[in-house]
Amino acid sequence: MHSETDWDALVSARALAAALGRDDLVVLDARSSLADQPGCEAAYRQAHVPGARFADLDRDLSDHRKRGGRHPWPEAADFTAALGRWGITPMHQVVIYDAGDGALAAARAWFLLRALGHRRVAVLDGGWARWIALGLPVEAAVPTPQPARYEAGFDADRLLDARQVQAHLQLGGLLLDARAAERFRGEIEPIDRVAGHVPGARNRPYADNLRDGRFKPAGELAVEFAAVLDGHAPQDLVVMCGSGVTACHHLLAMAHAGLHGAKLFTGSWSGWIQDPARPVARD
């Protein structure tokens, strides 16, 4: 394998197009929809980036046998088995895209790999929409990867449950919620049974990381997240959202900005409210 180019956060559509065919490159199509997930795989089978494998948010990037919110974090053995089916080893450069801005499953898949210690993994900036807008090549053929072996475990220090988040807040740590402001304030709740947010959390909608469907420049994001951190180290920040998926957009944006080590509340809001005794804030 060769590694003349390493991408560990974002990659442009033109750069990915130029790299297609590299023997160390695997592309994952992680298009997803809370309303019609089966339709996403059908769309993949009609057209995708050449060579891309399909990563399903519910089947491959979550474990619905477990409690822990609407998209429970999978076991390492299950996720590495999926990587093996896709032909991915720890040496591969992986690039992931979804239907638009990386906000849903692409950032989730990126952080799953990063939590395993996989360094060479990036999200396609602008996603499928950018690829199509530039008229870059697509194909309908579904690849048959050579099975691979991937052995690794998740970095447990970067994955927090509700009890650990409560302790983190009590120690003065920061909790950042990536949901839209009106959901955070509890004015609306289109998905979960309870509206509101974790007391002590702050809000930065994931869309604030974007401009015209692509990530803001690294320097600009570094300034914005420095304001969020307010003197804290990135390792003092835990991110959350509705179910632990769009929160990964903040982790990706921070990595793009050179800010590494923030953590994920895996169950996020849907996991927090599984226990009715936990407090809820609305403001």
Q: Does the pLDDT at position 221 exceed 90?
A: yes
pLDDT in tens, 234-257: 999 999 999 999 999 999 999 999
pLDDT band per the 50, 70, 90 thresholds, residue 142: very high
Closest CA to 253 of 212, 282, 213, 210: 210
Closest CA to 165 of 272, 253, 261: 272
| Mean pLDDT of the region 223-230 | 97
Tell me what pLDDT residue 38 has: 79
Tell me what pLDDT residue 103 has: 64
Tell me what pLDDT residue 1 has: 42
Alpha carbons within 13 angstroms on the beta-carbon side of residue 38 total 0
pLDDT in tens, 30-71: 998 877 777 889 999 999 999 999 999 999 999 988 877 899
Residues assigned a catalytic role: 241
Closest CA to 77 of 147, 150, 171: 150
Integer Cα distance of 122 and 256 in angstroms: 10
- Show Cβ contacts of residue 215 under 8 Å, excluding neighbours closer than 6 positions: 10, 102, 125, 209, 221, 252, 253, 256
Integer Cα distance of 248 and 109 in angstroms: 9
Q: Does the pLDDT at position 26 exceed 90?
A: yes
Closest CA to 73 of 149, 164, 156: 156
Tell me what pLDDT residue 2 has: 43
Three-class secondary structure assignment of the chain: CCCCCCCCCEECHHHHHHHCCCCCEEEEECCCCCCCHHHHHHHHHHCECCCCEECCCCCCCCCCCCCCCCCCCCCHHHHHHHHHHCCCCCCCEEEEECCCCCCCHHHHHHHHHHHCCCCCEEEECCHHHHHHHCCCCCECCCCCCCCCCCCCCCCHHHEECHHHHHHHHHCCCEEEECCCHHHHCCCCCCCCCCCCECCCCEECCHHHHEECCEECCHHHHHHHHHHHHCCCCHHHEEEECCCCCCHHHHHHHHHHCCCCCCEEECCHHHHHCCCCCCCCECC
Q: Does the pLDDT at position 4 exceed 60?
A: no
pLDDT in tens, 65-104: 887 789 999 999 999 999 999 999 999 999 999 996 656 7
Mean pLDDT of the chain: 94
Q: Does the pLDDT at position 173 exceed 70?
A: yes
The CA-CA-CA angle for residues 228, 186, 237, to 5°, reads 25
In the block, tokens 């920040």 appear at 237
Task: Choose the weakest-confidence range: 18-27, 103-112, 128-137, 139-148.
Answer: 103-112
Q: Report how far apart, in Å, the C-alpha atoms of 22 and of each of 86, 109, 131, 140 are.
A: 16, 21, 18, 19
Higher pLDDT pick, 3 / 86? 86
Amino acid identity, residue 235?
A: Q
Q: Does the pLDDT at position 3 exceed 70?
A: no
Q: Does the pLDDT at position 13 exceed 60?
A: yes
In the block, tokens 């909790």 appear at 175
CB 184 within 8 A of CB 197: yes
The structure's pTM equals: 0.96
First-to-last CA distance in the chain? 53
Task: Choose the weakest-confidence range: 9-23, 58-72, 154-168.
Answer: 58-72
Q: Does the pLDDT at position 117 exceed 80?
A: yes
Integer Cα distance of 39 and 203 in angstroms: 31
